Amino acid sequence: MKTGESFKKVKYKVAAFYNFLSILDKDIFLLKEELSELAKNNGVKGTILIATEGINGTVCGPEKAIIHFIEFLKQLLKISDINVKYSWTEKQAFRRFKARKKKEIVTIGLKQINPIKSVGKYIKADEWNEFLEDPDSVVIDTRNEYEIKIGNFAGALNPHTSSFREFPAWVQKHLKPLIEQNPSLKIGMYCTGGIRCEKATSYLIEEGFSDVYHLEGGILKYLEDVTPEKSLWDGECFVFDQRVSLDHALSPGSHTMCHACGLPISPEDLKKPTYIKGLQCEACVNKFTDSDRARFAERQRQIDEIMKRLPENSIWPVS
């Protein structure tokens, strides 16, 4: 992991945060306006989702600006603490700032699920290894297939979902029969920053499951608190910004992103004959029309031109 001194040499701080709390519908517009103004005045970029069930976002900017932003956010929400994880980057991780009103801050598509009312038991990052190695536990990765592909905890169940909306169907088809056959199993779940697995525990409790747990702060908190020597994490962690993935030091990893389909690309993927920069990767080689490809090619030409003229720009380059 990086030391405090080496972090000071990195220009931008990234804060990933969420909180399930009741927000009145009439207050959402005000929150959007206040946060947008704050971000504009302090050089902060990122994406924030606000719903009546809470707030979820990731922002990036100079360290002092991010600290101020999080403190101001807590004041707006009238809360003393917020679930936040920090990481670092040499270039701005976002292209703009967006604050959006949503029906859910993480979409499971079921109105009756209420994490404000009930969630599973939290497991601290430094206690997660013990849970992983417990033979009486089953661990589930609640992220999407493309995220799991680039990094995971060995032995965790992969629901093979392409979106969080598919998780309930997987539970009914696969997890419910497993627990019926092994009723003494403890269920543990994890995700990137803790929000999906927390909402997943609320769903399981609603469905009558007991002994439900989740990794507090998600993978990001685990990478922050657990040293590489003791870590059971394998690979990199996908993040939803221009960095694409983070290594164990919470620094940008080795993956880039396909500009055509938006999926992560490994260094090995770049060497495959199906890969054409900005136009296609192996995952999307048969997904687009010739007119799409022509449009992607023109976009990539413009990106290459900008990167050539402004090699020191603060925007993370796109593959």
Give catalytic residue positions: 191
Stated length of the chain? 319
Tally Cβ neighbours within 10 Å of residue 213.
21
Could you give the C-alpha distances from 122 to 73, 161, 202, 263, in angstroms and in order? 24, 24, 12, 30
Tally Cβ neighbours within 10 Å of residue 70.
17
Q: Helices 25-42 & 63-77, crossing angle to 10 degrees?
A: 160
Helix (H) or strand (E) holding 23: none
Sheet containing 137-141, strands listed edge to edge, beginning at the edge strand earlier in sequence: 121-123, 212-215, 186-190, 137-141
Contact 258, 284 (CB under 8 A): yes
Query: Token pair of 83, please?
Result: 């679930």
**SS3 of 193, please?**
coil
Query: Token pair of 294, please?
Result: 């022509």
Backbone angles phi, psi at 304, to 5 degrees: -60, -40
Contact 275, 265 (CB under 8 A): yes
Alpha carbon distance 297, 270 (integer Å): 17
Query: Token pair of 139, please?
Result: 């661990």
**SS3 of 92, please?**
strand
Contact 235, 244 (CB under 8 A): no
Contact 262, 279 (CB under 8 A): no
